[in-house]
Amino acid sequence: MKKIRLGDIIIFLLSLVLIGASFGSYGKLSGKPEVRVQAEGREWVYDLSVNTTASFSGPVGTTSIEIHDGKVHVLASDCRNKVCIAAGWISSAGEWIICLPNNVFIRIEGSIEPQAGGVDDISF
């Protein structure tokens, strides 16, 4: 009875390569935190440890963000309610600020490490 042939092994190895490559997407989640900003239909990536400011235009005007000492906040925005400015500073992975009227979404990505003294619990 003929069973496994050379082509089978090649296809199997190729799919292992594909699976290995797909696991690469997890690697990007760890590492140093990055600020990712979605605006103007694109995505920008900033280093959280480099102090800088940036502006993004959206449907209602301009939204400016500031990165300072490993924290990021919205400096100014032309939106009406200023909820994004009121959100204040964010500094750890998983946190985000969104300005809905101006279509600006700011989030921090990186390895999520428990903050010293931080609370991260769920209760029922």
Partner 1 sequence: MTYPSSSPKVRIEFVALLAACALFLSTVEYLIPKPVPFMRIGLANLPLIIGLGLLTKREYILLALLKVLGQGLITGTIFSYIILFSIAGTFASTLLMYIVYRFFKQWVSLIGVSIAGAMASNVAQLTLSQYLLFGAAAKLIAPPFLVVGLISSIILGVFAQQFEQNSAWYRSLRKGSL
User: Rule CB under 8 A: which residues touch partner 1?
Assistant: 1-12, 14-16, 18-19, 22-23, 25-26
CB of 78 to partner 1, least distance (A): 26
CB of 24 to partner 1, least distance (A): 9
Among 70, 73, 71, which residue's Cα sits nearest to residue 99?
73
Q: What is the 3-state secondary structure (H, E, C) of 31-86?
A: CCCEEEEEECCEEEEEECCCCEEEEEEECCEEEEEEEECCEEEEEEECCCCCHHHH
CB of 88 to partner 1, least distance (A): 26
CB of 8 to partner 1, least distance (A): 4
Q: Measured from the CB atom, is 33 or 73 closer to partner 1?
A: 33
Q: Measured from the CB atom, is 27 or 118 closer to partner 1?
A: 27
User: Cβ(84)–Cβ(68) under 8 Å?
Assistant: no
What distances in angstroms separate CA 3 from CA 8, 12, 16, 53, one per listed residue? 9, 14, 20, 63
Q: Measured from the CB atom, is 1 or 86 closer to partner 1?
A: 1
Q: Measured from the CB atom, is 14 or 50 closer to partner 1?
A: 14
